[in-house]
Amino acid sequence: MLRENTWRAKLFDLTLLIVLLLIAFLCLLPLWYTLAVSLSEKSAAAAGRVWLWPVGLNFNSYKQIMGDGSFFNSFWISIQRVVLGASVTFFITTLMAYPLSRSTKEFRMRNVCMWILVFTLLFNGGLIPWYMTIKELGLYDTIWGLVLGGGVPVFNVILIVNFFRNLPKELDEAALVDGAGPWRMLLTLYIPLAVPVLATVTLFTIVYHWNEFFHGLVLTSGQENYPLQTLIQQFVVVINTANMTEDQYKRMSELSNQTLNAAKIFIAMVPVLIIYPFLQRFFIHGITLGSVKE
């Protein structure tokens, strides 16, 4: 990187650092608050007495969420979903992105296929037909329903296509001269070069599958098949008081348990906190013409 040692440059750097740190701090505050609430005593949280430090420190909400066997069962389902989901998505979206990144000269139907994808991004029939289709396909109550239910992540595909298109044409030509066909070009050239964008979309996919709870609710018959977020989300469901029964009054104090809600957020963030720093290794700089740098 270019280095300048003038005081002006150093001042610039310092200001930059301070501004960025301030912004990061601002982003951290609500999270910190949420963590504090999740570790606080229920009544104190209910009274709004928690700010940035837990009141009545305890791990009760985490114990409650993680305390029974269903937690680990759902955890395992989520892991399966994430691994299968990330792999299948990676495989299919990368495969799709390559032909779509070709010019119309090289691939005549390219625009048609692209617009079909964009169309599906915008138009959909709604929940009911989607649900009925999934059931007809026999994907109800299966892990594949969860993995495939979200459909092709068109946004991710478009990102990869865009990235592929921006790679220099000279690379293509060089490879063709070497006698490479599309498969070899994709595997040996494009994928290694596209590591940053592939890491990005993989991150998005992992996060999506980890946090998605609605499909987990409607595509399963009950708790034994819930992925983790669906399981946890149950604890913080809202009950309409107008339809309550006596049993539900008993749950009132549970339902208004803000510490549970807060703890749930944290469990949701765990994979990101673990995986994202790891994936950042791939957000590296540069390619140079004529060679591939790792």
Partner 1 sequence: MAKRFMLVSLVFILLLSACSGGGNNTENATRHTDNGNSSTNVSGEKEATEDESKEQADPFGKYAETITLNYGKEVDPTDKSLPEGDTPENNQYSRYIKEVLNIDTKVTWQAASGTNYDQKVNLAISSNDLPDALIVKDSQLRAMVKAGQLADLTEAFEKYASPSVKKFMEKTNGVSQKSVTFDGKMYAIPSIQVQSDGVHQMWIRKDWLDKLGLEAPKTIEDLEKVARAFVEQDPDDNGKDDTIGIAGQQNGGRLYANFLESTNNTYGLDPIFGAYQSYPGFWLKNESGEAVYGSILPETKEALAKLRDMYANGLIDRELGIRKSASETVTDGKAGIFFGPWWMGYGPLPDAIKNNPEANWQAYLLPLDADGEFNAHMGAPSTLFVVVRKGYEHPEAVIKMLNLLVRDESTFDISVPIGHYPLRVPMSYTDESEYSAQALREVLAGTKTAADFTDPGYKLLAADIANIKKVKKEPYDNLDIEYWDPKADEGTWKRAYSLLVGSSSLTQDYNKIYSVLYSQTKTMESRWTNLKKLEDETFLKIIMGAAPIDDFDKFVEDWKRQGGDIITKEVQEHVK
Partner 2 sequence: MRNQSFTKHYYIMLLPGFIWLLLISIIPMFGIVIAFQDFNPGKGFFQSEWVGLDNFEYMFALNDTPVIFFNTVFIAVMKMIGNLIVPLIFAIMLNELRMMIVKRWIQTIVYLPHFLSWVILSGILLDVFSYTGPINTVMTFIGLDPILFFARADLFPFIIVASDVWKEFGFNTIIYLAALTSINPSLYEAAAIDGAARLRRMWHVTLPGLRTTIVLLAVLSLGNVLNAGFDQIFNLYNPLVYSTGDIIDTWVYREGLLNMQYGLATAVGLLKSVVSFILIIVSYQLASRFANYRIF
**DSSP-based three-state secondary structure for 50:** coil
Q: Hey, what are 17's tokens?
A: 């650092």
Which of 187, 184, 167, 195 shows the shortest CA–CA distance to 294? 195
CB of 73 to partner 1, least distance (A): 13
Does 117 interact with partner 1 (rule: CB under 8 A)? no
Output b/e per residue, 162-196; b: 16+ Cβ within 10 A: ebbeeeeeebbeebeeeebeeeebbeebbbebbbe
Which of 77, 31, 45 shows the shortest CA–CA distance to 231? 77
Amino acid at 76: W
Taking CB under 8 A as the criterion, the residue among 1, 5, 26, 48 binding partner 1 is 48
CA–CA gap between residue 91 and residue 151 (Å, rounded):
14
Taking CB under 8 A as the criterion, the residue among 33, 46, 71, 282 binding partner 1 is 46
What's the CA angle centered on 15, arms 12 and 17, to 5 degrees? 105
CB of 282 to partner 1, least distance (A): 36
138 binds, among partner 1, partner 2, none (CB under 5 to 8 A by kind): none
Taking CB under 8 A as the criterion, the residue among 26, 237, 274, 289 binding partner 1 is 237
Nearer to partner 2, 75 or 276 (CB): 276
123 binds, among partner 1, partner 2, none (CB under 5 to 8 A by kind): partner 2
Candidate ranges 17-25, 188-196, 249-257, 282-290; the one touching partner 1 (CB under 8 A): 249-257
Which of 147, 151, 157 shows the shortest CA–CA distance to 96? 157
Does 250 interact with partner 1 (rule: CB under 8 A)? yes
Q: Answer for the pair 192, 206: CB distance below 8 angstroms, yes or no.
A: no
278 binds, among partner 2, partner 1, none (CB under 5 to 8 A by kind): none
Taking CB under 8 A as the criterion, the residue among 83, 95, 127, 270 binding partner 1 is 127
Residue ranges binding partner 1 (CB under 8 A)? 42-44, 46-49, 64, 68, 127-128, 131-133, 135-136, 217-218, 220-223, 231, 233-235, 237-256
